Structure 1
């Protein structure tokens, strides 16, 4: 489970910090400025930022449940791996502008979180 947690944090680093920084690299003067004025992001940067915001909403719940599972020796590695894969797919589909499939991927990731919560509560078999 620790490797899934670390990979999740790597995804967050890439999605929240590194990729937006790279997508702003064409406006290097803005990056070095005081940033007093507004910055108009490109369409892909705006989608990446929205996807990052969405990850920031679900990341705390995932991390808390993953750590609880680790401490309580409940093996949720498979469902956590599926959640991570779905979140990576969600990010890619959002950044690339795929509309219909993105919602289905998000719903799958949500189901994983619900399953993790139910498993930790002892309401479903692991």
Structure 2
């Protein structure tokens, strides 16, 4: 389970820093400034930002469930791995704009969180 948590933290790094920075290189001066103004961004950058916000909303619950499972001695590693796979695929679909598959992947990740909670109860 520890490895899955580390992989999910790596995905958070991709979501919140690596991908947005790489898609916004033309505004590098803005990225290293105080960011007092605003800059024009691309549609892909905006989708990546929304995907990151979505990840942030479910990531806390995922971490809590993983840590609880470790504390209680219940193995949820398979379900947690599925959640991570759904979230990686979700990011890819959100970035390139595949809406229906993206929604199905989000529902799959939500189902994993619900399954993890049920297994802990």
Q: TM-score, normalised by structure 1?
A: 0.92
1:71-121: CA deviations, max 9, x gaps?
A: 111000000000000000000000011111110000000000000000000
Q: Which runs of 5+ in 1 are unaligned?
A: 122-126
The Cα RMSD (Å) is 0.9
Aligned pairs for 1:3-22 (under 5 A) are 3-22=3-22
Tell me the CA shift for residue 33 of structure 1.
3.1
Distance 1:34 1:78 in 2: 43
Structure 2 residue matching 1:35: 3-state secondary structure: coil
Distance 1:42 1:62 in 2: 30
Aligned pairs for 1:1-126 (under 5 A) are 1-121=1-121
Compare the two structures and name the one with the higher helix fraction. Answer: 2
Q: Extract structure 1 runs of 4+ deviating beyond 4 A.
A: none
Structure 2 residue matching 1:14: 3-state secondary structure: helix
Question: Which residue does 1:124 correspond to in 2?
Answer: none
Distance 2:95 2:55 in 1: 13
Distance 1:49 1:91 in 2: 10
Distance 1:115 1:97 in 2: 28
Q: Which runs of 5+ in 2 are unaligned?
A: none
